[in-house]
Chain A
Amino acid sequence: MTDLTQEMISAEIADRHLREQGSTTVHPRRDFAPYRSTVLRHPTHELVRADPEEIERVSPAFGHTDVAVHESDLTIQHAGEPLGERIIVTGRVLDGDGLPVRGQLVEVWQANAGGRYAHKRDQHPAPLDPNFTGVGRIITGDDGSYRLTTIKPGPYPWRNHRNAWRPAHIHFSFFGTAFTQRLITQMYFPGDPLFGLDPIYQSITDPAARARLVARYDHEVSQSERALGYRWDVVLTGPRATWTEPEGSDHA
């Protein structure tokens, strides 16, 4: 087990945040060393600016032949009910102009209520739940909406440093109207005490951007005597501006 303490990781996070203060970069820094697995897995060259051609300005088509309706309910995939707190997560997928992303694929996966994934490499000694796999799919509606019924995942330990714990989260995968809008991310729950300690969440250095990964509790979504409701909207923007090839830009 590693000798790295939470204090050391937290100090590294604070130092990096200080250096990035005022930056409005939305996405995580790929070279965010407090998450140790990034060290050998981030490119060191600047990305090369590319002009999207037609293939990159459209997206794969998914439809109801690809996804069955019951795939949006993770609590009905087995003979019995899964253990844990039943929840509904709903929201809209929008593009940068606020228009709905219609008829597109949303994929989710998560740990069970005890913080254990139904994945062979997950060695966390929390019980597997025979009534919970933790995988779902949804096709967005005409208003870009998705709706998922599941159980609230538990936080779980990982080996980034000693006593490292991930805040509870659901993994989400989205397709936009263009392949350049492809997004895989994680949705978190409001008020999690682990936020400040987690190098994955904190790899987004802009606090306003980080906050956009946190769902809000919505009593209108909750169902009496059945489930608590959370709302989380997602925005998939395209390129910031039309890009044109600069003059004499060979070998940029």
Chain B
Amino acid sequence: MPEQTPGQTVGPFFGFALPYDGGPEVRAPWQPDAIRLHGIVLDGEGSPVPDAVIEVWGADGDGRPSTERGSLDRDPHGFTGFGRAATSEDGHYAFSTVKPGVGRPGSAPYVVLAVFARGLLHHLLTRAYFGDEPDANAIDPLLRRVDPDRRGTLVATVDGPRSYRLDLRLQGPGETVFLDYGTEQ
């Protein structure tokens, strides 16, 4: 069997290569179903991380993964489900996307996030659930398995009309719950 290729840090100098025009606009912000998903990436001392890049991958409003091409060359009426945003000098990332439908009966809706940064030797995966789905979140199988004290790190809070905020803490108090899908090896 072929053996897995190891990861390496994205390093500090990805800014001229990975971010691209339209990367954060998974759904054009003027579309009626567009939501904002944003937050700050913080290190173990609570300092913002200005050299991180965040990717989102989420299903459409009906809970189905998109098979549309064009994430790098967006159709403003389309939805590919994938986006990429580098953090700003103050560690902020922001996406315009849609709130996915439920993917599996009994699960709550969520968007998958991948976190890459200088100083992070292998990327981290997590999920952004939605704070205005308390009933679905209460029975979601993953959220139920997470220590109640840490569960909130996976739930984006409503911070405005059609706007959700999820800060990502790489370490320390309030450290984000990061996920192992069986590929941590």
Q: List 18 A-B contacts (CB under 8 A).
A: A26-B3, A27-B4, A30-B120, A30-B121, A40-B119, A40-B172, A42-B120, A43-B124, A47-B179, A53-B107, A55-B57, A97-B1, A185-B5, A185-B8, A235-B2, A238-B183, A251-B146, A252-B145
- Which residues of A does B touch, CB under 8 Å? 25-30, 32, 35, 37-45, 47-56, 58-63, 65-67, 94, 96-98, 105, 107-109, 111, 117-122, 133-135, 137, 171, 173, 179-186, 200-201, 203-204, 208-210, 212-213, 233-241, 243, 245, 249-252
- Which residues of B does A touch, CB under 8 Å? 1-18, 43-45, 47, 49, 55, 57-59, 65-73, 80-82, 100, 103-104, 107, 112, 114, 116-125, 127, 141-142, 144-148, 150, 170-172, 175-185
B16 to A133, Cβ gap below 8 A?
yes
Who on chain A is nearest to B9 by CB?
A: A200
- On whether A43 and B176 interact (CB within 8 A), knowing A54-B103, A55-B59, the answer reads yes
What is the bound-complex CA distance between A111 and B114, given in angstroms? 25
A245 cross-chain contacts in B, Cβ below 8 A: 141, 145
- On whether A185 and B181 interact (CB within 8 A), knowing A62-B72, A97-B1, the answer reads no
What is the bound-complex CA distance between A32 and B3, given in angstroms? 22
- On whether A47 and B103 interact (CB within 8 A), knowing A39-B44, A184-B7, A200-B8, the answer reads no
B125 cross-chain contacts in A, Cβ below 8 A: 180, 182
* Cβ distance B141 to chain A, nearest Cβ, rounded Å: 6
Q: Which of A121, A250, A251 contacts B13 (CB 8 A)?
A: A121
- On whether A109 and B17 interact (CB within 8 A), knowing A26-B6, A60-B80, A60-B81, the answer reads yes
- On whether A65 and B73 interact (CB within 8 A), knowing A48-B145, A50-B179, A239-B183, the answer reads yes
Q: Which of A35, A39, A171, A180 contacts B181 (CB 8 A)?
A: A180
